[in-house]
Amino acid sequence: MCVALMSALVALAGATACSDAIEEPTYEYGLFPHVAHSGFNPKATYRVMFATGAPEPRWSVDDPDLATIQPSMPPAIEGTDVKSLSFALVTTKKEGVSTVRMTSGATTLTAQLMVKAYTDEQLAAGKARYETASSDPSRPPCASCHAKPGGVDHSPLKMAGFDDATILGVIQNATYPPSPTGQSTTSAFAPAGPLSFKGHTWNLTDPEKDGILAHLRSLPLGGL
Ligand code: HEC
């Protein structure tokens, strides 16, 4: 059987080895998100989670002054089976851009880490908008929904793979861009188009736009 198969294979593809494995498994692994957005302010903690399906990953950041990276326990992500994934947690140390590297055996995958500096004023404006009650129906405190038990996760665990404009579109216009941009932390999935919650059209003043990003990007990641 092997001999017959081998001559067929040699004729077809120039194969020289006799193997019982007819189907070649792929060794393609992902590293997510491809681009991670975070922030920096000495008074807050800014972290980003990376995930890969590759076995025994080793992690590094090209510019060690920009951020640290440590292997992490799997976070709890609702609706996502994280058993086959490995995670690493990045903590930023200053603003700038660098490359995150994941090496598994002979494979190295890279992702981009973008760190924006936030001022104390921006951080304070974002926290105030997030928490402060208002009689204006377009300005409810974000915390009134998101900080409740079971509130929708909008920490960096969920949002680090999305740029500022995408997140502001979700907050103010209840929509992701029409074609997917950015990325989930655990796969290449990216939401597109309107939220099912059509009323998610909240008012932000101009200073609150950077402020809310400064605050959201500094939230703890799920239980971590
Ligand atoms: C009345 C409750 C409520 C308030 C107030 C609220 N949100 Fe939300 N938010 C939700 C719900 C529910 C979703 C999920 C919507 C969906 O997917 O259809 C959501 C989704 C999000 C998302 C996207 C998360 C994802 O998984 O795609 C972000 C970011 C977000 N909210 C930020 C904010 C910010 C910032 C504020 C305050 C300015 C705010 N929200 C106020 C209920 C609320």
Task: Assign 187 a pLDDT band (cuts: 50, 70, 90).
Answer: confident
pLDDT in tens, 137-169: 999 999 999 999 889 999 999 999 999 999 999
Query: Across all residues in the chain, what is the average pLDDT?
Result: 90
Q: Residue 46 to residues 61, 80, 96, 186: CA-CA distances in angstroms?
A: 15, 23, 13, 19
> What angle is formed at CA 86 by the lines to CA 193 and CA 165, rounded to 5 degrees?
25
In whole angstroms, what is the distance from residue 42 CA to residue 57 CA?
30
| Residue 11 clears pLDDT 50, i.e. is over it | no
CA nearest neighbour of 54 among 29, 17, 79: 29
User: Residue 105, by phi and psi: left (phi above 0), alpha (psi -120 to 50) or beta?
Assistant: left
Atom of ligand 1 nearest to the CA of 202: 38
Q: Residue 201 to residues 97, 118, 134: CA-CA distances in angstroms?
A: 31, 24, 15
In whole angstroms, what is the distance from residue 98 CA to residue 101 CA?
10
Whose CA is closest to atom 27 on ligand 1? 154
CA nearest neighbour of 71 among 53, 49, 93: 49
- Give me ligand 1 centre to Cα 58, in Å: 34
In whole angstroms, what is the distance from residue 119 CA to residue 148 CA?
28
pLDDT in tens, 30-77: 999 999 999 999 999 999 999 999 999 999 999 999 999 999 999 888
Contact, 211 vs 124, CB < 8 A? Answer: yes
Tell me which of 171, 175, 213, 221 to substitute to probe ligand 1's pocket, judged by most ligand atoms within 8 Å of the beta carbon.
171
In whole angstroms, what is the distance from residue 127 CA to residue 122 CA?
9
Q: What residues are in contact with ligand 1 under a 6 Å CB criterion?
A: 140, 142, 144-146, 152, 154, 158-159, 167, 170-171, 191, 195-197, 200, 202, 212
Whose CA is closest to atom 5 on ligand 1? 142
